[in-house]
Amino acid sequence: MEKENISLTERFIMLSRLLMQKHHQMGASHLHDPYRGQGRILSLLKMQPEMSQKKLAYLLGIRPQSMGELLTKLEQNGYITRTPSVEDKRAMDIKLTDEGAKVAAENEQRHAQKLAADEMFQCLNKEEQENLAGYLDRIIATLKETLGGEQPGFHGHGPHSHCFAGRHMGFGRRGREDF
C-alpha cells in the first residue's frame, strides 16, 4: 500500500509541475490577457489600429488618467505610438505598431489556449471526469482540513532564501542540499 501512495504522490507532483508549466506557457500577465489592462487596449487596437485616446478610454470604460498610465507602458514597450491629432491638436491619436499587432495576435492565441485548457480531460469520458472531480474535491478538502484552511499569502512555496545568484537554499529535487 505504501508503494502505491508514493506512486500516487509522485504522479501528483508530476501533474502539478506540468500544470504550472502550461500555466506559465500560456502567459500569466495583464499584458497577455485580452480582457484586462494593457491586453484590452491591444485587443481593441488590433480591431481598429488607430483611434483617439479619448475614444479608446470611452470604449473601454477607463478613466483618462488610468488610460494614460496604461498607454505610457505600452508606448515604452514599443507596442503603440501616440501622436497629436490632426483634427484636434489637444487630443492624442493612438496607433498600434507592428510589434503591438504581433503581441495582440499572440494574446488571442493564448486566450484560445486557456479556453481549450479543459481539453486535457478529453481523454476521460464523462463518468471518469465526474469521478476525478469527486476524488480531487475529497483530496482538496482533506488537505485544507489538515492545514487548517488555505494559507493567506501562500504563493506555492514555503519560507526559503534566494542566495547564491538566485539559487534556492535547502533540499533540492535530488534530496541533497543545493549549495
The three cell numbers locating residue 164: 547564491
Per residue in 43-60, pLDDT (tens digit) is: 889 999 899 999 999 998
57, 50 contact by CB (below 8 A): no
Per residue in 110-129, pLDDT (tens digit) is: 777 776 667 788 889 999 99
Residue 132 covered by a domain: no
How far is the CA of 62 from the CAs of 11, 59, 70, 92, 104, in angstroms? 45, 8, 10, 16, 19
How many domains does the chain fold into?
1
Residue 35 covered by a domain: yes
Per residue in 131-148, pLDDT (tens digit) is: 999 999 999 889 888 888
Residue 166 covered by a domain: no
Calculate what percentage of the chain has a pLDDT beyond 70: 69
Residue 87 covered by a domain: yes
Instruction: State how far the Cα of 111 lies from the Cα of 39, in Å rounded to an integer.
Output: 11
The band of 153, judged by pLDDT with boundaries at 50, 70 and 90, is low
Domain that holds residue 80: 30-113
Highest mean pLDDT among 30-34, 83-87, 114-118, 175-179: 83-87
Average confidence score pLDDT of the chain: 78
Residue 177 covered by a domain: no
CATH of the domain at 71: 1.10.10.10
Residue 48 covered by a domain: yes
Residue 161 covered by a domain: no
Residue 105 covered by a domain: yes
Which residue's C-alpha cell is 483618462? 64
Instruction: State how far the Cα of 89 lies from the Cα of 100, in Å rounded to an integer.
Output: 24
